């Protein structure tokens, strides 16, 4: 399963890529706005830091198909490497995806709420579909099960589009979409850190250190020195 960072904060992106096996970065207009920096230089800097191979998913703002296409072509012209243009699954977005797919632009369908929206986007040429797990759950529907339904639909019809789970409020949601076959997830920096955190893990590490010092003294160096 691919693990992506849902952030435009350069320091956090650098930190997480240093620690974890990160596959890419996703952004959206809200995330970009939080950084209070000029849009294009910021996403270009993100791409420089993550490298050519890792994926960068950048979202359009327009709501008319022709404008979405023009934005997407401008983005792909200004960004090098493995770049995907994120487009919401509104009707005009689906129309734009059809055109951009024919032009060879790599696409991520975003703001997906239902399996049928995901299926429509995949047929329009999306390489990824991003269901909003927690936002679906807020509608009294289990968002993690919706991810599983999308995965199942794609398997039934042998669709190669990947499912990119997004919008998580806790680690259990990430675990459930992983168990339901999501090909990828994108999560905020704090949520990615939380994947690795557990009190018993920390306790175990502290116990190892305590036992070592009891046996060899407080100033004992690691055995390999």
Per DSSP, 207 falls in state H
Instruction: Report whether 155 contacts 126 (CB < 8 A).
Output: no
Whether 86 is a known active-site residue: answer yes
C-alpha 202 chain-centroid distance: 27
Which residues is 3 bridged to in the sheet? Answer: 185
Among residues 42, 53, 41, 40, the alpha carbon closest in space to that of 7 is found at 42
Which candidate in 86, 95, 175, 225 is catalytic? 86
Q: DSSP for 134-156?
A: HHHHTTTS-HHHHHHHHHHHHHH
Q: Would you name the residues annotated as active-site residues?
A: 86
């Amino acid at each position: 399963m691919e693990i992506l960072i849902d952030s435009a904060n350069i320091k956090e992106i650098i930190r997480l890529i240093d620690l974890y096996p990160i596959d890419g970065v996703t952004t959206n207009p809200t995330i970009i706005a939080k950084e209070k920096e000029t849009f294009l230089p910021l996403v270009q800097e993100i791409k420089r830091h993550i490298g050519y191979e890792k994926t960068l998913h950048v979202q359009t703002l327009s709501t008319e198909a022709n404008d979405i296409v023009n934005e997407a072509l401008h983005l792909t012209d200004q960004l090098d490497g493995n770049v995907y243009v994120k487009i919401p699954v509104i009707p005009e977005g689906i129309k734009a995806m059809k055109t951009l797919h024919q032009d060879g632009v790599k696409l991520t369908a975003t703001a997906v709420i239902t399996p049928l929206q995901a299926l429509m986007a995949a047929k329009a040429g999306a390489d990824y579909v991003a269901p909003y797990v927690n936002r679906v759950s807020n509608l009294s529907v289990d968002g993690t099960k919706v991810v599983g339904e999308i995965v199942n639909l794609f398997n039934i019809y042998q669709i190669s589009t990947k499912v990119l789970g997004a919008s998580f409020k806790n680690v259990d949601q990430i675990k459930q979409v992983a168990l339901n076959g999501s090909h990828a997830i994108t999560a905020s920096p704090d949520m990615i850190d939380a994947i690795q955190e557990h009190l018993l893990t920390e306790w175990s590490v502290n116990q190892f250190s305590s036992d070592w010092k009891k046996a060899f003294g407080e100033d004992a160096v690691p055995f390999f020195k």
